[in-house]
Amino acid sequence: MAQTPVFVMNTAPERQSGRKAQVSNITAAKTVADVIRTCLGPKAMLKMILDPMGGILLTNDGNAILREIDVAHPAAKNMIELSRTQDEECGDGTTSVIILAGEILAQSLAQLERDIHPVVIISAFNKALTTALQIVNQISKPIDTTNDEEMLALIKTSIGTKFVVRWSDLMCRLALQAVRTVATSESGHTIVDIKRYARVEKVPGGEIEQSEVLRGVMINKDITHPQMRRLIKNPRVILLDCPLEYKKGESQTNMEFSKEEDWKRAQEIEEEQVKRMCDQLVELKPDVVITEKGISDLAQHVLLKANISCIRRVRKTDNNRIALAVGATIVNRVEDIRESDVGTGCGLFKVEKIGDEYFTFLTECASPKACTILLRGPSKDILNEIDRNLADAMSVARNVVFNPQLVPGGGAVEMAVSVGLNEKAKTVKGVENGPFRAVADAMEVIPRTLVQNCGGNAMRVLTELRSIEALTGQAVFVVWVFRIVIMVY
């Protein structure tokens, strides 16, 4: 007897429109901003997040926190996407941009309640943005990117509020050295690709002070045969993107043999092909052969007799970095290898065991355009947080190379912009005046949050700042803002 079918009706969420949708979007964005508000400043608190797999995330990085938050509201998703974009483009300031965006949206709610059309509000916001950029350009000063002292002091400001502040000098040197290593010039344009060519290797154990930037590449691989050399000075390196084994059929290969001799001959043909490839490699007299594919036992035997060390199944990204470090060219076919493809820029090849794993080092390179940052620390969680902080420091160093301008921090820029916008608002006529002043008020959220996170009296400090603004010019005001915020710290 057939059972009565059961129908499950999925009711769609209530559709919102008009003022109700606007208020809902602003509330969602404000909620996201409030989640990470306590993560701003030198006295910021860390967030401990438990992921679905049981891992622990301990960080005060805004983007790292928002990545782990699962939200359904479209406006909240847009805020998280804003944080991700800020992280990709600038590398730092993910917490500040979310807090600032949330406050501007909160200030716009009062303008909507005055029945000002959203188009007018957006127009006023764009004018405020143009004015704010002009103010920032006025108070900025140039910085010499070749001056180590200035660069280290600038990078230090980006990690002064992070977990690694205790080791800020070390981390700043690591970030600056890594950025300068991977910086290249092509057709007059400077390229600094830290994500591709400055790889961070985290090895638990040891002390954080043992972290260093290697003049070369380090990969988590061991040689294929235990009798191969593990220490070679000034090695000749060949990089391959092809297997050193008999080529198998693409999908399915059937072979029928009627005689035993035919089977033996087929085996011999395979061996001859592998030996021929190895002989072609041996002719170039390499010391190290690295391939992204496999190496058969026969190939290992032949290369071992020629005193050549081999590493197999290297990742494509690692192989590209090795090529830039040692000056080699990755070859797709053994038959195409030429003397010019052999890398000779490496000073030392060695394989070491760190902890329970083997690592291959190609260091002391003459002019490496790629590097590896070796991070040591007591645990994986701490290393992950150090990695995030170091990525921010490297991003700041990279940005300064492209735009060598410096503005004061600690909420000074935001207060200067707020003062400038209030002055400019006197010339803005009509209904756009209200939204224009709302942006000026929203800018105060950064120094207010800094003071609150430091345990200070936000009303008292902001009142002092406004009184200074009434007595002094903008340039002097920025200096006084900077001093007061430091005093609160």
Six token digits for residue 352:
């070491």
Question: What backbone torsions phi and psi does residue 375 show, to the nearest 5 degrees?
Answer: -105, 130
SS3 content of the chain, % helix, strand, coil (to 5): 55, 15, 30
Strands 371-377, 198-204: pairing kind: parallel
Find how far residue 435's CA is from the centre of its chain: 35
Catalytic residue among 87, 222, 318, 392: 392
Active-site residue, 94 included: yes
Integer-rounded Cα Rg, in Å, for the chain is 30
CA dist 346 and 332 (Å) reads 21
33: amino acid identity, one letter: A
* 279 is known as an active-site residue: no
User: Of 59, 61, 92, 363, which residue is the catalytic one?
Assistant: 61
Closest CA to 278 of 252, 255, 310, 253: 310
Amino acid in position 394: M
Catalytic residue at 51? no
What secondary structure, in 3-state letters, does 434-487 show?
HHHHHHHHHHCHHHHHHHHHCCCCHHHHHHHHHHHHHHCCHHHHHHHHHHHHHH
> Which one is catalytic: 95, 224, 372, 449?
95
The encoded tokens of residue 209 equal 């002070």
**Active-site residue, selected from the candidate residues 59, 87, 92, 94:** 94
DSSP state of 455: T
Question: Does residue 336 have an active-site annotation?
Answer: no
Catalytic site positions: 61, 94-95, 392
